[in-house]
Amino acid sequence: MQVIEKCVYQFSKDNTPVIHSEAGEVLVFNTMDCFSNTINTEEDLVLNMDYSVANPATGPVYIDGAEPGDVLAVDILDIQVADQGVICTSRGCGPLCDDMEDRTKVIKIHDQVADFNGVKIPIDPMVGVIGTAPDGEPVGDGFPGNHGGNMDSKVIRKGARVYFPVRVAGALLQMGDLHATMGDSELCGTGIEIKGEVTVKTSLIKNFELHWPVTETATHWYVNTSDHDFPTASKLASKELQRLICNAYGWDKTDAYLYMSIQSDMEINQACKPCHVELAIRFGTPKLPQFKPLIG
Ligand code: CA
Ligand code: ZN
**What pLDDT is attached to residue 53?**
76
Query: How many whole angstroms from 189 Cα to the centroid of ligand 1?
Result: 8
Q: How far apart are CA 2 and CA 8, in angstroms?
A: 18
Residue 223 Cα distances to 205, 218, 229, 283, angstroms: 17, 15, 17, 5
Helix H or strand E segment including 19:
strand 19-22
Query: How many whole angstroms from 133 Cα to the centroid of ligand 1?
Result: 17
Q: Is 257 helix (H, G, I), strand (E, B) or coil?
A: helix
Query: How many whole angstroms from 269 Cα to the centroid of ligand 1?
Result: 10
Query: How many whole angstroms from 56 Cα to the centroid of ligand 2?
Result: 10
Query: How many whole angstroms from 220 Cα to the centroid of ligand 1?
Result: 22
Query: How many whole angstroms from 151 Cα to the centroid of ligand 1?
Result: 7
> What's the chain's Rg over C-alpha atoms?
18
Query: How many whole angstroms from 114 Cα to the centroid of ligand 1?
Result: 19
Q: How far apart are CA 205 and CA 40, in angstroms?
A: 41
Domains (ranges, CATH) in the chain?
2-206 (2.60.120.580)
The DSSP 8-state label assigned to residue 157 in this structure reads B
108-165 tens-digit pLDDT: 999 999 999 999 999 999 999 999 999 999 999 999 999 999 999 999 999 999 999 9
Query: How many whole angstroms from 128 Cα to the centroid of ligand 1?
Result: 5
Least confident of 20-34, 38-52, 106-120, 212-226: 38-52
The DSSP 8-state label assigned to residue 274 in this structure reads S
Segment 41-51 shows an average pLDDT of 83
**What pLDDT is attached to residue 281?**
98
103-116 tens-digit pLDDT: 999 999 999 999 99
Q: Which of 84, 109, 80, 25 is nearest to 197 (CA)?
A: 80
Query: How many whole angstroms from 197 Cα to the centroid of ligand 2?
Result: 14
